[in-house]
């Protein structure tokens, strides 16, 4: 801060200090007082003004802050004699940045630098401005100027990083420009390119202009004066050639020259130098540099060796590469454990077998979901050579085994399995050898929790018979268990896990499977005393068993459809959490069980207890977000979305400053990483979905009041931005950052839930493996991407369609819409028709065909199945179609009635029929999970609500406004037909809502005790029949035998609080809590009372409102 208190713009420190002190202690009023008196003395000081604007901004007075800030800027520009110091500029910069006007801040620094071209502080400030704007070309130019000025290595590297960033540009921009260049007219292309250069710094993309280069070259030069941007220095160079290559050469040239005159002094600079050479496949040159004087910059020898190994392998010198990796693996000291370095071993083996797969930085290798095993090629080596190399590797691995005494070094043992796998890939393998190697590995490490995930990829290469053989051998080891109890327990758990992994559990009959679960839960009970003295924060022995029991019970439910098994799974996990409440694995399973049961409020409770925050919201919220989007828990959903978007937006805001921090600390590789990471998050599919859904949620929440809905729409710019988003999304490459590894087997992705379909047996097993190989991964990602695009595309049309529907409805009763003064009835009609066509296209139909489908389903000619999986979208379509039809002079269908009443009827029928269908399908909770509840909620809160808005709009427009009278004749006839439609529609909504209310009342009125009893009785097994309850019985009978001496005080204490009755009651209460939310749909104003009313009261209230409207109609 010392510099801050120097002379700033000529103001002595003592005058400024009280202002900063007040700002720092958040006493803004006080700060403003000091600032006013300072300005009285120095009215023309830009710094004093900058301080005032800073205070105003902190007080939330953005407009005033901007105006004062602009004054300060003008003063700086006008008066050359004023001191243009970094302190004033950086203060202005802070304010401009907080006001989202980075351009103004950059402008100030640009001006200052043009006035004082040799002031390094100002140039660094300018560089920082360009970093904030992701303006890589300008960063590069500024860094080069600084480098020329002082010759420091760091500025050269700043320039090189800026070049690197241009090379690594976002694919999105490349794709976008490709599209423009293919489709656009020449003038358009030029403008797009200029825009790209000025705003996006996409100079790399200019390479795609090559086919038109001559024309563009001329046009660019001719037009450059028309556009107020300066062409980047190498605009035309890049224009005509391969930009990426040229840029890499430019970066290399700069470094080479500097090295010749000054050498390099920072290890990070060397790393950047090598990576630039590597990018150009100049491995030999890179190796030479590394083994020369510069190599000594890498102090830790192994770091250097790893790079050497990689370069050698990539250059094809496998023999030397293998030697290097061998050396690395042999390094074993008190603090270095290289024999355990699995990746290094894979590289070693890759070199020996002359297979470079593990170094190819394939574009498809997702850094977030990397492949589980090396996707190696079938070796091209002649058999003899192959055998000899395999023998070499085996001998080396044995030597490593002998040399390392540590019991925790697993690599040399697992290496045997990898060698066997490679042999098999070469066609020389032997399943027996693999089984033997697996057994040896089990005997050494079978007690470790990581055993099954260690060997997962090796099990996959075995035939089903061999898997069974391996399992049988494992079972045999149980005859002579390990003497240490924890070790014996670990081995037993491993065997269960292997059974799960090989799919064995999906083959056995139901009773046997149930016995297996009983065995697991007995083992859990038996192992409890082992944990008697552990701290509650500490993982207990055998904790995994209950997760596995849950998995088996859910499978039993899937196979038998006995809900009791499902409830039993819940009980088991709740029991486990009673003993130790921190087990996140149980919580995730439970939240999915409750979600499937339709008790989303309990699912959300468990989600909250996981305390997901910051980056985990991006990777882990998939567990709850999709369910919440379809739930009526709007308050919770709103918090979920708000927190997530805040986290992401905060990151986007601060990311550039952190990037600059990396520049300042000379960690150049992090600079590139930070920029790429921000891009990755910005293209997150979840982020996109959350943005759209937040707006849809606001619309749902306010749909009961047309005026409030109109306010929401106004804030959403009448939905225009979202239509743009919908148009743009096709060209966006989305990223998928969700971590699906923690999802349960029955719902391995957000789109899949096996429990909704019939038992598929082994067809799904072993556990769905999303990343088995990259072809699967690619296909899966592509499929998800398409899916998300479709959803977002459709959803983002919603706000605009709602807006247009409201206006279309009122325009049908008035001649034109005067609101906002711009949009006329015919414009509404044509735009809405265009969007309907778009919507129909997304459903796979032309507009007229889609109308046919809707009519067909409504009239009963077709079933709802004709809508496929997009039923809500179809009903939405019908709602908007009706709204359009009200104000359209085009006949909807030839030979159909022309007044629109027919479509009113279609919408009403669709809503009534589908809602009734859903109500009927949902019997009581204890009979089946309530999977239809979210659909009912969606129906009522989306299409029905939008339809309610159309009705509200009609009602409002029909009320006498005192303005001009409507024209007589046909208009009056039209109006009365519309109003008839409204009346009928209201009646039909009333009827169906009453039906919903009746159903809800039926659910709520059921005695709580009766529901609880139903749940508990589903667990009580009677004699020998095939019914759930055996597992639960084991846990229940454990309670009386619990004693302090054996199980420890804590476990005893916790178990005293266990009550299955409480859990059952929680489920019932959670379920009815949810039902209270369902009819939060309103259809009239003045709804403040709603939250305080019961579900049925609400519905009744809404029905009354609807009746009132009917009465108010002319």
d(Cα 49, Cα 63) in Å, to the nearest integer? 14
- Cβ closer to another protein: 550 or 798? 550
Least separation, in Å, of the C-beta of 93 and another protein?
Answer: 18
Binders in 450-509 for another protein, by CB under 8 A = 450, 453-454, 456-457
- Residues 700-717 as b or e (16 or more Cβ within 10 Å = b): bbbbbbbeebbebbeebe
- Binder among 21, 512, 533, 849 for another protein (CB under 8 A): 533
Least separation, in Å, of the C-beta of 537 and another protein?
Answer: 5
Least separation, in Å, of the C-beta of 1079 and another protein?
Answer: 36
Query: In which element (H, E) is residue 610 found?
Result: none
- Binder among 610, 645, 872, 931 for another protein (CB under 8 A): 610
Binders in 392-411 for another protein, by CB under 8 A = 406, 408-411
Beta bridge partners of 332: 337
- Cβ closer to another protein: 453 or 1017? 453
Closest by CA position to 123, among listed 106, 136, 98: 106
Least separation, in Å, of the C-beta of 615 and another protein?
Answer: 5
Question: 3-class DSSP state for residue 8?
Answer: strand
Give me the helices (H) in 267-382, please: 267-279, 283-291, 301-315, 318-330, 342-352
Tokens representing 457? 């990829």
Binding mask 618-637 for another protein (x = CB under 8 A): xxx-----------------
Binders in 543-582 for another protein, by CB under 8 A = 582
Least separation, in Å, of the C-beta of 372 and another protein?
Answer: 4
Least separation, in Å, of the C-beta of 499 and another protein?
Answer: 18
- Binder among 371, 858, 953, 985 for another protein (CB under 8 A): 371
Judge contact between 1105 and 1098, C-beta under 8 A.
no
- Cβ closer to another protein: 335 or 402? 335
d(Cα 715, Cα 695) in Å, to the nearest integer? 10
614 counts as binding another protein under rule CB under 8 A: yes
- Binder among 284, 292, 370, 1049 for another protein (CB under 8 A): 370
d(Cα 156, Cα 730) in Å, to the nearest integer? 39
Closest by CA position to 659, among listed 681, 677, 647: 677
Tokens representing 109? 């620094």
Binders in 654-693 for another protein, by CB under 8 A = 654-655, 658-659, 661-662, 665, 667, 669-670, 673-674, 676-677, 680
* DSSP code string of 690-756: HHHHHHHHHHHHTTT-HHHHHHHHHHTGGGHHHHHHHHHGGGPPPB-----TTS-TT-SSTT--GGG
Binders in 804-843 for another protein, by CB under 8 A = none
C-beta atoms surrounding 15 within 10 Å: 15
d(Cα 690, Cα 597) in Å, to the nearest integer? 25
1044 counts as binding another protein under rule CB under 8 A: no
d(Cα 873, Cα 938) in Å, to the nearest integer? 10
Least separation, in Å, of the C-beta of 657 and another protein?
Answer: 8
Question: 3-class DSSP state for residue 684?
Answer: strand
Separation of CA 985 from chain center: 40
1045 counts as binding another protein under rule CB under 8 A: no
- Cβ closer to another protein: 535 or 1023? 535
- Cβ closer to another protein: 457 or 1093? 457
- Cβ closer to another protein: 342 or 834? 342
- Cβ closer to another protein: 584 or 780? 584
d(Cα 70, Cα 48) in Å, to the nearest integer? 13
- Binder among 179, 210, 212, 651 for another protein (CB under 8 A): 651
- Cβ closer to another protein: 221 or 300? 300
368 counts as binding another protein under rule CB under 8 A: yes
Closest by CA position to 521, among listed 478, 488, 492: 492
Judge contact between 858 and 916, C-beta under 8 A.
no
- Binder among 20, 116, 337, 780 for another protein (CB under 8 A): 337
d(Cα 905, Cα 891) in Å, to the nearest integer? 16
Question: 3-class DSSP state for residue 332?
Answer: strand
Tokens representing 329? 């693996």
Binders in 910-939 for another protein, by CB under 8 A = none
Q: Beta strands of 327-405 (E only): which ranges?
A: none
- Cβ closer to another protein: 116 or 677? 677
- Cβ closer to another protein: 180 or 662? 662
Least separation, in Å, of the C-beta of 337 and another protein?
Answer: 6
584 counts as binding another protein under rule CB under 8 A: yes
**CA dihedral of residues 325, 330, 335, 340 (deg, nearest 10):** 70
d(Cα 801, Cα 942) in Å, to the nearest integer? 13
Q: Beta strands of 862-921 (E only): which ranges?
A: none
Least separation, in Å, of the C-beta of 594 and another protein?
Answer: 18
d(Cα 852, Cα 640) in Å, to the nearest integer? 40
Binders in 438-457 for another protein, by CB under 8 A = 448-450, 453-454, 456-457
Question: 3-class DSSP state for residue 424?
Answer: helix
Binders in 291-320 for another protein, by CB under 8 A = 299-300
335 counts as binding another protein under rule CB under 8 A: yes
- Which residues, including other chains, have CB under 8 Å from residue 88's CB and lie 6 or more apart? 8, 9, 46, 47, 50, 72, 76
- Cβ closer to another protein: 501 or 706? 501
- Binder among 13, 538, 783, 890 for another protein (CB under 8 A): 538
Least separation, in Å, of the C-beta of 455 and another protein?
Answer: 9
User: Given the rule CB under 8 A, which of 243-251, 362-370, 752-760, 881-889 is the region that contacts another protein?
Assistant: 362-370
Q: Beta strands of 1029-1080 (E only): which ranges?
A: none
Task: Return the DSSP state at 631.
Answer: S
- Cβ closer to another protein: 456 or 1100? 456
User: Given the rule CB under 8 A, which of 368-376, 567-575, 909-917, 1032-1040 is the region that contacts another protein?
Assistant: 368-376
**CA dihedral of residues 700, 701, 706, 709 (deg, nearest 10):** -80
User: Given the rule CB under 8 A, which of 176-184, 530-538, 943-951, 980-988 is the region that contacts another protein?
Assistant: 530-538
- Cβ closer to another protein: 273 or 660? 660
Beta bridge partners of 241: none
Beta bridge partners of 684: 735
780 counts as binding another protein under rule CB under 8 A: no
- Cβ closer to another protein: 588 or 903? 588
539 counts as binding another protein under rule CB under 8 A: yes
361 counts as binding another protein under rule CB under 8 A: no
- Cβ closer to another protein: 675 or 1016? 675
367 counts as binding another protein under rule CB under 8 A: yes
- Binder among 535, 1005, 1025, 1088 for another protein (CB under 8 A): 535
Distances (CA, A) of 608 to 352, 611, 614: 50, 6, 14
- Binder among 737, 812, 829, 1018 for another protein (CB under 8 A): 737
Tokens representing 933? 């509840």
Least separation, in Å, of the C-beta of 79 and another protein?
Answer: 37
Interface size with another protein, residues (CB under 8 A): 71
- Cβ closer to another protein: 367 or 1114? 367
1020 counts as binding another protein under rule CB under 8 A: no
Task: Return the DSSP state at 960.
Answer: -
d(Cα 350, Cα 340) in Å, to the nearest integer? 17
């Amino acid at each position: 801060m010392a510099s801050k208190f120097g002379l700033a713009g000529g103001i002595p420190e003592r005058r400024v200090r009280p202002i900063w002190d007040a700002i720092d202690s958040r006493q803004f009023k006080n700060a403003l007082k000091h600032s006013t008196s300072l300005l009285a003395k120095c009215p023309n000081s830009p710094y004093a003004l900058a301080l005032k604007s800073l205070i105003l901004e902190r007080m939330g007075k953005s407009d005033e802050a901007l105006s004062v800030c602009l004054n300060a800027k003008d003063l700086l520009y006008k008066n050359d004699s004023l001191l243009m110091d970094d302190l004033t500029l950086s203060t202005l910069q802070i304010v401009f940045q907080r006001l989202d006007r980075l351009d103004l801040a950059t402008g100030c620094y640009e001006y200052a630098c043009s006035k004082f071209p040799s002031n390094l502080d100002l140039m660094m400030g300018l560089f920082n401005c360009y970093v904030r704007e992701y303006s890589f070309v300008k960063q590069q130019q500024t860094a080069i100027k600084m480098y020329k000025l002082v010759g420091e290595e760091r500025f050269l590297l700043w320039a090189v990083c800026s070049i690197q960033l241009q090379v690594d540009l976002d694919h999105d921009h490349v794709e976008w420009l490709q599209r423009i260049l293919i489709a656009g007219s020449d003038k358009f292309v030029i403008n797009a390119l200029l825009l790209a250069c000025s705003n996006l710094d996409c100079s790399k993309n200019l390479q795609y202009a090559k086919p038109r280069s001559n024309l563009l070259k001329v046009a660019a030069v001719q037009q450059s004066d028309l556009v107020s941007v300066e062409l980047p220095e190498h605009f035309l160079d890049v224009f005509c050639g391969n930009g990426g290559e040229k840029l890499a050469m430019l970066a290399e040239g700069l470094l080479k020259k500097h090295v010749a005159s000054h050498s390099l002094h920072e290890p990070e600079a060397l790393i950047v130098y090598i990576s630039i050479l590597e990018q150009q496949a100049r491995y030999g040159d890179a190796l030479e540099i590394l083994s020369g004087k510069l190599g000594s910059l890498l102090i830790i020898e192994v770091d250097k060796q790893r790079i050497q190994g990689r370069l050698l392998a990539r250059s094809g010198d496998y023999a030397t590469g293998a030697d290097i990796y061998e050396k690395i693996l042999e390094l074993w000291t008190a603090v270095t454990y290289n024999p355990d370095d699995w990746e290094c071993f894979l590289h070693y083996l890759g070199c020996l077998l002359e297979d470079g797969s593990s170094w190819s930085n394939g574009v498809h290798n997702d850094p977030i979901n990397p492949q589980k095993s090396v996707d190696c090629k079938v070796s091209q080596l002649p058999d003899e050579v192959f055998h000899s190399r395999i023998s070499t590797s085996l001998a080396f691995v044995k030597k490593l085994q002998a040399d390392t005494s540590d019991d925790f070094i697993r690599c040399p043992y697992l290496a045997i399995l990898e060698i066997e796998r490679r042999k098999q890939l070469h066609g020389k393998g032997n399943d027996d050898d693999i089984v033997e190697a697996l057994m040896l590995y089990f005997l050494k490490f079978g007690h470790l929790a990581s055993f099954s995930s260690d060997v997962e990829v090796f099990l996959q290469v075995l035939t089903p018979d061999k898997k069974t053989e391996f399992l049988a051998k494992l079972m045999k080891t149980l005859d002579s268990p390990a003497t240490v109890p924890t070790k014996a327990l670990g081995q037993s758990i491993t065997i269960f896990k292997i059974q799960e992994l090989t799919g064995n559990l999906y083959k056995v009959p139901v009773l046997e499977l149930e016995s297996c679960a009983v065995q697991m839960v007995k083992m859990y009970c038996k192992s409890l005393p082992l944990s008697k003295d552990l701290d509650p924060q500490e993982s207990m022995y055998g904790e995994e068993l209950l997760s596995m029991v849950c998995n088996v019970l859910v499978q039993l439910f899937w196979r038998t459809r006995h809900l009791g098994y499902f409830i039993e799974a819940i009980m088991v996990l709740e029991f486990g959490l009673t003993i130790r409440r921190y087990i996140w694995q149980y919580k995730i399973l439970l939240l999915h069980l409750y979600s499937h049961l339709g008790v989303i409020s309990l699912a959300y409770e468990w989600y909250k207890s996981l305390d997901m925050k910051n980056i985990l919201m991006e990777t882990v919220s998939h567990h709850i977000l999709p369910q919440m989007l379809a739930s009526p828990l709007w308050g919770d959903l709103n918090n979920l979305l708000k927190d997530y978007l805040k986290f992401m937006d905060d990151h986007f805001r601060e990311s550039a400053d952190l990037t600059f921090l990396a520049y300042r600390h000379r960690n150049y590789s992090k600079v590139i990483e930070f920029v790429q990471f921000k891009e990755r998050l910005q293209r997150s599919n979840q982020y996109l979905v959350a943005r759209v859904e937040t707006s849809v949620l606001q619309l749902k929440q306010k749909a009961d009041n047309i005026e409030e809905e109109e306010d929401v729409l106004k804030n959403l710019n009448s939905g225009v931005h979202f239509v743009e988003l919908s148009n743009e999304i096709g060209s966006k490459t989305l990223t998928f950052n969700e971590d699906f590894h923690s999802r349960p087997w029955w719902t391995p992705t957000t789109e899949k839930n096996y429990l909704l379909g019939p038992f598929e047996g082994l067809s799904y097993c072993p556990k769905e493996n999303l990343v088995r190989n990259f072809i699967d991964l690619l296909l899966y990602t592509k499929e998800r991407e398409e899916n998300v695009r479709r959803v977002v595309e459709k959803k983002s049309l919603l706000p605009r369609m709602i807006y247009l529907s409201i206006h279309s409805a009122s325009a049908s009763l008035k001649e034109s819409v005067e609101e906002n003064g711009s949009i006329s009835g015919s414009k509404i009609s044509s735009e809405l028709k265009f969007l309907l066509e778009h919507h129909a296209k997304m459903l796979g139909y032309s507009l007229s065909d889609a109308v046919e489908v809707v009519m067909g389903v409504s009239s009963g000619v077709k079933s709802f199945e004709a809508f496929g999986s997009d039923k809500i979208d179809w009903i939405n379509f019908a709602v908007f179609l009706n709204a359009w039809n009200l104000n359209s002079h085009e006949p909807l269908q030839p030979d159909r009635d022309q007044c629109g009443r027919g479509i009113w009827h279609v919408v009403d029928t669709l809503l009534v029929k589908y809602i009734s269908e859903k109500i009927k399908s949902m019997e009581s909770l204890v009979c089946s999970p309530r999977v239809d509840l979210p659909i009912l909620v969606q129906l009522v809160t989306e299409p029905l609500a939008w339809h309610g808005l159309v009705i509200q709009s009609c009602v409002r427009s029909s009320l006498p406004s005192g303005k001009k009278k409507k024209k007589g004749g046909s208009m009056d006839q039209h109006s009365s037909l519309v109003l008839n439609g409204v009346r009928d529609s209201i009646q039909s909504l009333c009827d169906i809502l009453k039906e919903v209310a009746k159903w809800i009342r039926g659910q709520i009125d059921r005695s709580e005790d009766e529901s609880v009893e139903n749940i508990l009785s589903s667990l009580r097994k009677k004699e020998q029949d095939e019914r759930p309850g055996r597992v639960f019985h084991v846990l229940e009978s454990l309670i009386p035998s619990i004693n302090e001496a054996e199980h420890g005080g804590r476990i005893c204490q916790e178990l005293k609080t266990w009550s299955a009755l409480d859990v059952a009651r929680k489920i019932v209460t959670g379920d009815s809590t949810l039902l209270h939310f369902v009819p939060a749909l309103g259809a009239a104003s003045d709804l403040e009372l709603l939250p305080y009313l019961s579900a049925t009261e609400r519905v009744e209230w809404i029905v009354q409102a609807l009746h009132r409207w009917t009465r108010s109609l002319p």
